[in-house]
Structure 1
Amino acid sequence: MVLVFFSGCSTRNITAETPAKGYNKIDGAQVSGLINRLEYQGGAEFSWLDLKNGIERNLRYLSRKPQKSVAAKYGRMQITWEMLKRTNEEMLGILPLLEESPELLDERFVWYSMAPRTLLTGYYEPYLEASLTPHPDYPYPLYSVPADLKNLDLGKFHHRWRGQHLIYRHENGEVLPYYDREDIDFKGALQGRGIEVAWVKDLVDVFILQIQGSGRLVLPDGSVKHVLYAGKNGLKYVSLGKVLIQRGLLPKEGMSMQKIKAFLAANPELVKDLLTTNPSYVFFRIDDEGPFGSMGAPLTPMASVAVDNKVLPLGSLALLTTRLPQQGEKSKAPFAKIVMAQDRGGAIKGTRVDLFCGSGPEAEYLAGHLTSWSHVYLPVSRALMEELEAVKAE
């Protein structure tokens, strides 16, 4: 049985500069060039073994999947869970050898370029001053998932809706959208329910935490807790950066999270109006460990990425090439690294990839300024591909 179908590029309106949408096989010379970039841009502190824990987490996730089933179909290429698992196993096995023998990346894998290229953005773990008990200095609550928030799997009703969910609430026998940001933050829709998990000093910090999905709470005694994504209200995410640009309040050039924070701090009278343009709302839980991605496993800074799993499934390995902004510099630094698809995001659609930058000031700067056109290359176990070709030839 043929489980995977790869097709060459369609010739209609396709040139070398405009490859067909999907995954397109690259030749040996291109692969060699990519390997050289990995070696050159790894840096003195780079070690292939830094990927070991993340790949093992991928394998734990992938081992629970039906191996012969299709994980994603993008363009004319079908990616099965078996492809992802075998590729991770191959990579894990050669990690100790790659420093001396990087050519194994060519020998052991067939490489495919994702088209079109991707817009790379970044996210990070913000630090918030917070209290786990109510206090006048910490007036803004973080909420856990409310009991009246309902989640209906629409795929149970029709295959066309597979993977889609309806998030709602009941009121007087009527099904309604769940409360939006204005209802929760400014009209007290969730007050008095006892579902607060923490309180923080700044409402804008709450907003930013919800965009990033997780963070760290710095408590009055100096201890730190992880605050992690637990759910959302199901309403559409609206980019505040785009709103500020559309209203002529900030220029498109040089837009960053830092500029948004500075604008809100300088214009407190606009905070309510601007924050409520984004009705999406995120709920949290507190933990001693984190952050965790959508696979339920810890993320690796500068190696874990959030993806649209219809294009790049969770558990995938990929080679990412791009240029990263540098604090205090006008130019961007070249960057090439094997990354792991271990998270999802509401705003991550199509080929867009979101790089987890870690925590702290450097991560905040990078995530806040990262908008770079980038290329993604998907490795597939060569041994598996040869097995599938042999089956196909029978």
Structure 2
Amino acid sequence: MNKRVEFPRLFLFRSTLRWLAVCSCLTVLVIGGCAPKPEPQLEPMFRPLETAEAQKVVRLLDIKAQGVTSWADLQPAVERSLAYVTRRPADGLALDKYGRKITWGQLESTLHLLLGLLPRLDAEPELLAQYFTLLRLEPQPLFTGYYEPYIHASPERTAAYPFPIYGKPADLKTVRLEQFHPRWKGEVLTYRIEGDEILPYFDREAIDSKKALQGRGLEVAWVQDLADIFFLQVQGSGRLIMPDGSEKHVLYAGKNGREYVSLGRVMKERGLLPQDGISMQSIRAYLDAHPEEERELLNTNPSYVFFRISDDGPYGSINQVLTPWASLATDRNTLPLGSAMLFTVPRPLPATPEQQAQSGKSYVEVPFGGFGLAQDTGGAIKEHRIDLFSGSGEQAEFIAGHLAAKGDVYLLIPKVEE
């Protein structure tokens, strides 16, 4: 049941919005007047490839490196995207950027055509270049990775499992600001109400160190290490291994709306990690070696994610189960949810002792070309950045922790629709 907001709260809420608008204008005036002119950048665009160029891209694809033996194995993943796209208005715009307009109907046609071609692509991969226009996103996007971590957990608090994973609190509220003014289109305000005040929701320090949510019955599970919760929040989902050996999926349920601050960047600026040696693994190794610093370091990222327990998953933003090596988290305004694409990117793999001695790095990069589906989003995934879902397990964790490279992505659109 919706709780009626009394007049003083509503008045304060509207006053807060007006204050935000004034601050926004002052920021433009102050910063815009003092900041130096930015360096000229390459014009962003979706550049259509000629057929010969598209054929070269297709020849780089290695479907087996995506963990499947045949293109036909990708049928369930394509059908999941289709289920999302068909719920959208066919004549509505899925993409309106860089002078390129694409409707949901065009994306639906792409997915239907792909389903028809999948049985033939093992023998004739060149059909992708024959039937589709490949729109190359320029400049190159940055590829990073995420995975589904395994975490030892307990349904109850014990001495061995003292740290709670919280479910979404009932007092966490959100409102879409565009209903108040068009300048805030796409902006969401996350807040809580305390007395007659509208306040930002509790940050990480308030939740984990000051116990702001303790005693509300929000705990969905308990874990051994505070850092387990932190890295689970970075990934957005995971698998809990219970004391009896059973497994449960723990899935994203919401967030506190605070700014995401990169812990790796903070540690680099403090000189705690080498400039060229920042990875999820190196961060975790430092925290394990310096437990007395763990809580303060984790609190430098005020963003906080809440979870729910499920028997299956993980789910992406299209409310469908993700597919390892094929599901991508994208900025929906740049690469629309449900869209299909080809991509090439250097993939990190563990280095042999000889390779590590020669390069000084724990990994080597090997060419990787695959087929992808925009099925997820992320708070840090903006504009030309793509997050590749690598699944679960040690290899998935290694790649997700080390992948940070520029690559190429090619949005697929049927030629008959052009």
Above 0.5 in TM-score? Answer: yes
Q: 2:174 aligns with which of 141, 151, 174?
A: 151
What displacement does 1:163 show?
Answer: 2.2
Mapping of residues 1-394 of structure 1, within 5 Å: 20-38=43-61, 46-329=69-352, 330-385=363-418
For 2:69 and 2:383, locate their aligned partners in 1 and report how far apart those are by CA, in whole Å: 30
Instruction: Report the TM-score, using the length of structure 2 for normalisation.
Output: 0.85
2:10 alignment counterpart: none
In structure 2, runs of 5+ residues without a counterpart are 1-40, 353-362
Q: Contact 2:63–2:70 (CA<8 Å) still a contact in 1?
A: no
Query: 1:222 corresponds to which letter in structure 2?
Result: G
What displacement does 1:19 show?
Answer: 6.3
For 1:20 and 1:195, locate their aligned partners in 2 and report how far apart those are by CA, in whole Å: 48
Deviation digits for residues 45-86 of structure 1, max 9, x if unmatched?
531012111110111100111111112222111222112111
Distance 1:331 1:41, change over 3 A: farther
Q: Contact 1:41–1:334 (CA<8 Å) still a contact in 2?
A: no
For 1:376 and 1:124, locate their aligned partners in 2 and report how far apart those are by CA, in whole Å: 20
For the residue of structure 2 that corresponds to 1:358, the secondary structure is coil
What displacement does 1:164 show?
Answer: 1.6
Instruction: Report the TM-score, using the length of structure 1 for normalisation.
Output: 0.91
State the number of aligned residues.
Answer: 368
Deviation digits for residues 303-347 of structure 1, max 9, x if unmatched?
101001110010011111011111124531110011000000001
Q: Contact 2:171–2:192 (CA<8 Å) still a contact in 1?
A: yes
In structure 1, runs of 5+ residues without a counterpart are 1-17, 386-394
For 1:34 and 1:364, locate their aligned partners in 2 and report how far apart those are by CA, in whole Å: 28
Deviation digits for residues 178-199 of structure 1, max 9, x if unmatched?
0000000000000000011000
Q: Contact 2:63–2:371 (CA<8 Å) still a contact in 1?
A: no
For the residue of structure 1 that corresponds to 2:251, the secondary structure is strand
Runs ≥4 residues deviating over 4 A: 39-45
For 2:332 and 2:268, locate their aligned partners in 1 and report how far apart those are by CA, in whole Å: 29
Q: Contact 1:41–1:336 (CA<8 Å) still a contact in 2?
A: no
What displacement does 1:157 show?
Answer: 1.9
For 2:223 and 2:68, locate their aligned partners in 1 and report how far apart those are by CA, in whole Å: 36
Q: Contact 1:295–1:343 (CA<8 Å) still a contact in 2?
A: yes
Q: Which moved more, 1:99-108 or 1:373-382?
A: 99-108
Q: Contact 1:124–1:212 (CA<8 Å) still a contact in 2?
A: yes
